[in-house]
Amino acid sequence: MNIVDVINFTKKYFLFLLVVSVFSSICGLVLAINLPPLFEATQTLFVKRQASPESKQFYAYDGYYSAQAAERFADSIFGALKSREVLRYAITRVTPEAEINPLLNKEVRSIKVIRLSPQLISFSYSNKSRDLAEKLIVNLSGSVSGIASELNRGGDENISISFVSPKPLVSVSELHPILGWLVGLMLGAFLAVLISASHYFYKNIPS
């Protein structure tokens, strides 16, 4: 396909390319304006172990071994947060009707758990409802505290978990109208060129 073919192709399908591109860009703009924002609630916990006081009778933990003990306990907390049962329980406590919701597993998968460092764990959840997203993370934080207490019952009393902030951090993400318009324009132009090129080459296949 040489430059002459490109010019002929553009002249022949210019109106179609223009109409489809404009229409799709308008659709993208309308969608971006009407698309509800998505709220993400995030909480971060820190597992720590208070260093043992010096003792003349027993070998005491120093800072290094305290950190090692905290890291091992953080492994258990991270595993609990990755457990589907724990996440399902947190969701159904906030929205009891979710227990019979066929989309419950999808909601469970939407909870993100990230290990930021050996002793730092972050978990977040996104929803169109700010209140629901925040409540779920607050409830999950309470569940984690309860699990930590159970795991450490009768164990090392110097190990504890604490949250970076008393309340989850809630951020909002929404599609900017200009970005929606641009995405719609590019997608429409791509589809228009693809359809036009298919028709053009089909019509020009030598018989």
Burial category of 15 from C-beta neighbours within 10 Å (exposed 0-12, middle 13-18, buried 19 and up): exposed
Predicted pLDDT of residue 84:
79
Q: Where in the chain is the domain with CATH 3.30.70.1130?
A: 38-173
Q: For residue 171, give the nearest of 4, 6, 10, 41 by alpha carbon.
A: 41
Predicted local distance difference test score (pLDDT) of residue 25: 87
Q: Tens-digit pLDDT profile for the chain (207 aa)?
A: 567 766 777 778 788 888 888 889 898 888 878 878 889 999 999 988 776 555 554 455 455 677 787 888 888 888 888 887 777 777 776 666 555 455 567 777 788 889 988 889 999 988 888 888 888 888 888 888 887 887 777 766 778 888 888 889 998 887 788 888 898 889 988 888 888 878 777 776 655
* Token pair belonging to 194: 């693809």
Which residue type is seen at 30?
Answer: V
* pTM beyond 0.85, yes or no: no
Q: Which pLDDT value is given to residue 197?
A: 79
Residue 42's pLDDT is 93
Q: What class does CATH assign to 38-173?
A: alpha beta
pLDDT for residue 2: 64
Predicted local confidence at residue 144, as pLDDT: 82
